[in-house]
Amino acid sequence: MNVQQFRLLVVDDIADNRTLLRRFFGDRGFHVVEADSGPAALVLVEQQKFDAVLLDIVMPGMDGLEVLKKIRVGHSSHNLPVIMVSGKTANMGFSLALELGANDYITKPIDLAGALARIRGQLAPMPVEQSARRYA
């Protein structure tokens, strides 16, 4: 799959986490945009088109679950896949995220190859004509 046309939004309040993900996915041809908070992510989702979102659950202020709820008001799980990320070992946050419309989840520390596979799995059924690149 050619991922060069896919746009990925990475949402995490920790700069080192965003940098790691930006570099990893950027080196694999994704166009990566970063948000350091829930409110910043919501502004970006409304202003730009993305093919997928990696969204941290635990963030100060507005947590990832609240961000997910707001994203789902205007974007279905089919049109904008959201993969939740958290260091939580308990299933409670992930179960709730799935109930709220998350497509998938990954745990920290992030297995980068696994994260790439999960994102590719969400993007695979999407025809290139429907990707965000047509809005760039």
* Residue 25 in tokens: 């996915």
Residue 135 placed within a domain: no
Report how far apart, in Å, the C-alpha atoms of 122 and of each of 8, 15, 103 are: 12, 25, 8
Domain of 126, CATH number, reads 3.40.50.2300
The confidence score (pLDDT) of residue 91 equals 56
Q: Is the pLDDT of residue 125 over 90?
A: no
The range of the structural domain enclosing residue 100 comes to: 7-130
Whether 71 contacts 53, CB under 8 Å: yes
The confidence score (pLDDT) of residue 108 equals 87
Q: Tell me the backbone φ, ψ of residue 33, rounded to 5 degrees.
A: -120, 140
Dihedral (CA of 132, 68, 18, 111) sign: negative
pTM of the model: 0.87
Q: Is the pLDDT of residue 8 over 60?
A: yes
Per the listing, tokens 């205007």 go with 74
**Higher pLDDT pick, 134 / 128:** 128
Q: How many domains does the chain have?
A: 1
Residue 20 placed within a domain: yes
Angle CA(64)–CA(95)–CA(106) in degrees, nearest 5? 65
Residue 1 placed within a domain: no
Residue 112 placed within a domain: yes
Dihedral (CA of 54, 79, 74, 93) sign: negative
| Overall average pLDDT of the 72-91 stretch | 86
The confidence score (pLDDT) of residue 93 equals 75
Report how far apart, in Å, the C-alpha atoms of 11 and of each of 1, 26, 45, 125, 134 are: 24, 15, 11, 23, 23
User: What is the chain's mean pLDDT, rounded?
Assistant: 88
Residue 22 placed within a domain: yes
| 27-31, 65-69, 107-111, range with the lowest pLDDT | 107-111
